[in-house]
Amino acid sequence: MVMEQDWTVTVGTAAAPAPAEEEEEEPWRPPSPQPSPPRVRGIVHKLPACLQEEVEEEEEEEEEEEDKQVSNQPVARACVGTASEVRVVTSAPGKVILFGEHAVVYGKTAVGAAVSDLRVVVTASTTVEPELVLELPDLDVSFRRTTPELSDAFGFSLAVAPGAKPTPPDQAHLDLISAFLSDEGRSKDGKKALVSLVFLALAIVPEIFLGKAGAGARGLSLRAFSASLPVGAGLGSSAALCVATSAALTRLADIISRAAVEGGGERGGGGSRRPSGSELERINAWAFAGETVLHGTPSGLDNTVSCYGGAIKFVKGMDGAANTTEPIPGFPPLPILLTNTLVPKNTGALVAGVRRLLEAHRPATTATFDAIGAIAAEFLDRAAASVPAATPVAAAECGDGAAAPAAPAQPLTAECVGELAEMNHRLLCALGVGHPALERVCEVASAHGCRSKLTGAGGGGCAVTILSGEDLCKASLVEAMLGEGFKCYETSIGGDGVLFHGDAVPPPFVAAAAAAAAATAPAAVARGGDGLEIEAGWSMFLGQVLAGDREGTGLGVAAAAAAVVIAAAVPVVLGWRGLRYY
C-alpha cells in the first residue's frame, strides 16, 4: 500500500519518561498555548521509492518461495569465521488502535493498523570483541559489558539452547538480568528497555555468548533508535522496538547458524525486503516475549500489527488458545489526525489499573469490555459490507437504525466511524484510562465537527481523530490543536510492517541517526536555488527538533534554535526525499 502523509509538526517538549507507578501525580493542567507554530503547508512523507519497489518485488515472490527466499540469498564467504562483522538492519512501524484497546487483553475483538512512516530502526552486528554493547540514544542509554563479565554474572544460564522456541522469560530470569543491570543508574524506562533487549539477545543469539558462533563473532552490538515514532505516546513504540530487535536478532541467528553449517557466512545483503511468512511468525513470537518484559501482560496486538503491517482484526486467545489475526478486507482509506497530548503515561500501570477495576467490579467491567468488543465488531461488519463485491448496498448514514435483522450491515462512512470511535472513547474513560488532555482533544475536534478517541493505553499520549468534511476544516483543526500545545501527525494508516534493510541503514534512517548525534547544524546543508533544499532525512531531523519528540537526542540548543528559526521563517514541504522551502 502506498502511503501519503501530511505531517504537521510544532515546537514542543519531549514526552518525559513515564512516572513511576507509585509516584503521586500532579493534577493535569492544560499546557499554555504555544507561540504560533511554523506554518507547514503540506508534507509528503513515505518510504523512499527505492525501498517501496524492493519490498513490492519481494512480495510477489513471497508466497511461493517463503523459506527458499532466505537460503537463496547470496552468501559472502569469509564473513563469519574470520574477523569480519555481520551486520543486519531492520525497522518496524508504530501502530494505531482504532477500536478495542484494554478490552483486547480480555479476549475482545480489536482493530489496529500500522503507522508505517513512524518507525523504530535497529542495527545488530556481531563483533570481534567479546562484549555486549547496547545503545538506545532516544533514552540516552548505553550499555557495554565484556562476555567474561556477563559469564561471571550469569554463567550464561540465561542463554537458551540455540534454536529454542520463543518463550517469555520467567520472573527469576528477569530478576537476574535486572540485578545485573542495577548499578547502571538508568531511568526506569531505560532500564526496562535494556532488560528486554538483554533478554532477547541472550535468547535469540545464544551462540554468540556460548562461544559457538565462530571466531569472528565473539560479541554483539545492538543500536535502536526511533525514526519519528514518539516514545511512550500510545503509538506502540515498545512493540516496534521489540519487533525490530527480534527481526534483527533472528536474522543474525540464521546467518550465524548457516555459517556454522557451511563454513562461511553472509552479510545481511543489500536492499530492503519483507520477511517471509515463517520469519514473521518467529519475529512476532520473540517480540511478544520482549513486550512482556516491558508491559507484563500485553495482549499481543501491538507487536502483531507492527510485525505484519496493514490493518488487522485481532482477538487474543484466552486460556492458552492461539490468537486470531486477520487482515481486514475493505479497510477504508480513513483520513485521520493523530494528536499527541505530550502527557507521559505508563502502559503497564494503566493495564494494571484496569485489572484492578475488573477485580473490584467484575460484572460492570466485563459489560464495558463487551460493549467495546461490540463496537469493534460493528466496525468490522460495516467494513466487510463496504467491500463492493460483498454487498452492493447504497451508502447509508450511520444511525439510520431501521435495518431488518436479515439485512446486511450498513457500509462505513467517516461519520459512522467517528461515532463508533467516540463511543469507544467514553467506554475507555469509564475504565479509568482517560485524561483531561485527551478530553481537550475531543472537545477541540468536536468544535470542528470531528470525533476522536484515545489510542493505545490512554492516560495521556495520543488521540485519533476521524477526519470528515472539508480540507479547510482539517487545517483549522490542526491549527487549533497546535494552539493547545499539542503535536499533530496527519496521516493515513496501513502500510508495511517489519522490514529487513540488508546491512546498511537506509538514507532516511541514517539522517535520523545523524539528527540524534547532532553532529552539525542543519543550516550547514541548506542550499540556495529558487528555494532551499535539504537532503533526505534532514526533514526528519527538523521534524524531530521542532517537535522535540525524543529525549536524549544530544541536540545542542543552538542547533535546535537554528532549525526552529529556519522553519519558522518560511513555509515548508517536507518529505523522505527532500525538504523544500518555498
Name the one range near ligand MEV by CB under 6 A: 25-33, 298-306, 502-510, 520-528.
Answer: 298-306
State the Cα–Cα distance between residues 249 and 252, nearest whole angstrom.
5
Start-to-end CA distance of the chain, whole Å, equals: 29
State the Cα–Cα distance between residues 509 and 504, nearest whole angstrom.
10
Does residue 351 belong to the site contacting ligand MEV (CB under 6 A)? Answer: yes
Which of 125, 237, 238, 386 is labelled catalytic? 238
State the Cα–Cα distance between residues 491 and 245, nearest whole angstrom.
25
Minimum separation from the CB atom of position 35 to ligand MEV (A): 32
The nearer residue to ligand MEV, 216 or 236, going by C-beta atoms, is: 236
* Interaction mask 187-206, ligand ATP, x per CB under 6 A: --x--xx-------------
* Interaction mask 421-460, ligand ATP, x per CB under 6 A: -----------------------------------xx---
Which of 6, 302, 496, 503 is labelled catalytic? 302
Name the one range near ligand MEV by CB under 6 A: 100-108, 133-141, 151-159, 331-339.
Answer: 100-108
Which one of 51, 80, 86, 139 is in contact with ligand ATP (CB under 6 A)?
Answer: 139
Does residue 457 belong to the site contacting ligand MEV (CB under 6 A)? Answer: yes
Q: Is 67 a catalytic residue?
A: no
* Interaction mask 414-453, ligand MEV, x per CB under 6 A: ----------------------------------------
Does residue 102 belong to the site contacting ligand MEV (CB under 6 A)? Answer: yes
The footprint of ligand ATP on this chain (CB under 6 A) covers a number of residues equal to: 28
Positive or negative CA dihedral for 135, 140, 146, 152?
Answer: negative
Please write down the HEC assignment for all residues of 325-381.
Answer: EEECCCCCCCCEEEEECCCCCCHHHHHHHHHHHHHHCHHHHHHHHHHHHHHHHHHHH
* Three-state SS at 475: helix
Does residue 136 belong to the site contacting ligand ATP (CB under 6 A)? Answer: yes
Residues pairing with 42 in the sheet: 573
Considering CB distances under 5 to 8 angstroms, the limit depending on partner class, which of ligand ATP, ligand MEV, none binds residue 269? none
Q: At what angle do helices 49-71 and 277-295 cross, to 10 degrees?
A: 100
The nearer residue to ligand ATP, 91 or 468, going by C-beta atoms, is: 91
Does residue 373 belong to the site contacting ligand MEV (CB under 6 A)? Answer: no
Considering CB distances under 5 to 8 angstroms, the limit depending on partner class, which of ligand MEV, ligand ATP, none binds residue 233? ligand ATP
For residue 265, the one-letter residue type is G
If you write DSSP's letter for every residue of 531-576 in order, what string do you get?
A: S-EE-TTHHHHHHHHHHT--S-----HHHHHHHHHHHHHS-EEEET
Q: Is 530 a catalytic residue?
A: no
Q: Is 390 exposed, middle or buried (0-12, 13-18, 19+ CB in 10 A)?
A: middle
State the Cα–Cα distance between residues 236 and 116, nearest whole angstrom.
12
The nearer residue to ligand ATP, 136 or 555, going by C-beta atoms, is: 136
Report H helices in 386-413.
Answer: none
Considering only the C-alpha atoms of the chain, give the largest distance between any 2 of them, rounded to a whole number of Å.
Answer: 73
Which one of 116, 347, 365, 465 is in contact with ligand MEV (CB under 6 A)?
Answer: 347
Task: Write out the catalytic residue numbers.
Answer: 238, 302
- Which residues contact ligand MEV (rule: CB under 6 A)? 97, 101-102, 104-105, 236, 298-299, 301-302, 347, 351, 456-457
